[in-house]
Structure 1
């Protein structure tokens, strides 16, 4: 599967859950213990808002603080939809993944950035599904791709405090369970 296709499918997984959020669910907790449903959607929406800028070569300083705080406003679903569309178009643009982007970790190959964005969309789609008590089944191919990307480097990311320590699951558990457990989430949450 092409990287842009994996990204788009991961984004569709998150989008499907955003569209299912009921009025009373925006303040519900998620397995990502720092964030409520709204805070989780805000985080992913801000990431999507950043993507077109970074893929055009803008620096963090040039983007500035415009996406700090609450980016969702009064119509969170509509803001998410616009941000997702613009990010999808930016990632699909010819040559978008050929260069480097400025990230908080320094200059990063655009393909690596796309993989990181895909990872975030995938794990947070699961978080969001659990937070709103929706179907949490992820696209198996996307989960397998993300697991293959994350597994070899998880220790370094945990050392940075990006993810909680892994949760134990059986070695023959479905790839989705192994992925969320690797990222510090209890598949039974």
Structure 2
């Protein structure tokens, strides 16, 4: 399956989950122990806002700190919708996926960046769902591919503190459970 198709799928999963957040759930805790539901959505909105700049050739220094802190404003769902739309448009611009981006750890293929963003969207959709008591949102086919593709990236990561250590799960665990366990979450 094409990474852009999987990105669209993960973006939709996160989108459905954001639209399920109740007005009284924004301060709920999430499996990301330092983040509430609001903090988690803020993180994803900031990530989506970064994407058009980086995919357009900007450096981290050129983007600067414009997306540090709170980026949700008064309407977190609308902030998410706007940032997701802009990011998706940047990803699907002709030739973008074949390009290069400059990230904190160096210059890489845009496709690698897309895999990372896709995995982040999927796992954070799970985090968000757990925070609001919604059903697990990651589809099996997406999780299977992410375990296969992102797994080696996670296992070779040399940046401590970015991800929690993987959690052991039985070989018979579902693909979504294996994915979130790979990313340091205890499946529920």
Output the CA distance in 2 between the equivalents of 1:168 and 1:124: 19
Output the CA distance in 1 between the equivalents of 2:50 and 2:137: 27
1:23 partner SS: coil
Residues 72-151 of structure 1: pairs in structure 2 closer than 5 A:
72-151=72-151
Aligned residue number for residue 54 of structure 1: 54
1:97 partner SS: helix
Unaligned runs of at least 5 residues, structure 1: none
1:46 deviates by 0.3
Aligned residue number for residue 32 of structure 2: 32
Range 65-74 or range 97-106, more displaced: 97-106
Output the CA distance in 1 between the equivalents of 2:178 and 2:124: 15
Alignment deviations for residues 15-55 of structure 1 (CA, whole Å, 9 cap, x no partner): 00100111111010001112110000000000000101111
Q: TM-score, normalised by structure 2?
A: 0.96
2:101 partner SS: strand
Output the CA distance in 2 between the equivalents of 1:103 and 1:137: 28
Q: TM-score, normalised by structure 1?
A: 0.96
Alignment deviations for residues 101-141 of structure 1 (CA, whole Å, 9 cap, x no partner): 11111212100000000010000000000000011131111
| Conservation of the 8 A alpha-carbon contact between 2:100 and 2:110 | yes
1:153 deviates by 2.9
Output the CA distance in 2 between the equivalents of 1:109 and 1:99: 6
Runs of 4+ in 1 over 3 A off after TM superposition: none
Q: How many residues align?
A: 188
1:12 deviates by 0.4
Range 161-170 or range 24-33, more displaced: 161-170
Range 140-149 or range 63-72, more displaced: 140-149
Alignment deviations for residues 119-174 of structure 1 (CA, whole Å, 9 cap, x no partner): 10000000000000011131111111111122223233375222112212111111
1:2 deviates by 1.1
CA RMSD, aligned part only?
1.2
